[in-house]
Amino acid sequence: MARFTRAQAIAQAPLTPLIPVFYHAEAPYAKRILQACYAGGVRMFEFTNRGPRAFDVFSELQAYVEADYPDLLLGAGTIFTAAEAEQFIAAGADFIVQPVISADVAAVCQRHDLAWLPGAMTLNEVYQATQLGAALVKIFPASFVGPGYITTLRGPLPHVPFMVTGGIEPTPAALAEWFRAGATCVGIGSRLLKSDDPAALTAHVAKLLRGIQALRP
């Protein structure tokens, strides 16, 4: 079962606001990527349910995290159904990320006191997600709407925490735009994780997190 509550996930997201979004069919490779990200300062990591071996690799990763990186929150992404949510939560998922909004998945997460991060874009979708108990609302695909859209959403919904995901450029300048617009955290996938050099990935992640922290008052 999850090691972290919904409240703990909400608290962690703005503290280490870069969340890698990753899938690989081989657990040893996934472990190397996770370890490199952790060394760079990552404390929330999303492993996506996007392949036939996703659950098996996630289960192995969760055991690895629990043994060696107990302060890292490992979440399951690309979850569509309540059954999938229950399966990954039973395997130890610390948060659940969806590309859509599903009331039944929201209810599963609420029952387990687990952070639920549904995908949304329109104002109505964002509001619906908050009404169903979203810990953070995932704006996806963020690159399609741009940082200015986050600023617009902040008008009527000033207190909603946003995770922006999808097409985010992993550069200090690009991330600065998103955080200045009001993003709480960013999720970045292949654009960040394309390197198979762990040392280079660690250095890149650390540089991005330093840049984000420099924007904070």
Please identify which of the residues 84, 86, 138, 194 carries the catalytic annotation: 138
Are 208 and 174 in contact by the 8 Å Cβ rule? The answer is: no
Angstrom distance (rounded) from CA 139 to CA 142: 6
Query: Given 26, 31, 46, 125, which residue is catalytic?
Result: 46
**Token pair for 217:** 């008052």
Please report where in the chains the tokens 């890149």 appear, as a residue.
204
Pairing, β 18-22 against β 162-165: unpaired
Specify whether 46 is catalytic.
yes
Cross-strand partners of 186: 18, 164
Q: Known catalytic residue: 31?
A: no
Q: Are 99 and 140 in contact (CB under 8 A)?
A: yes
44 neighbors 95 (Cβ within 8 angstroms)? yes
Length of the chain: 217
In our burial notation (b when 16+ CB lie closer than 10 A, e otherwise), range 38-51 reads bbbbbbbbbbbbee
Contact 109, 84 (CB under 8 A): no
How far apart CA 24 and CA 21 sit, in angstroms, is: 11
Which residues are the active-site residues?
Answer: 46, 138
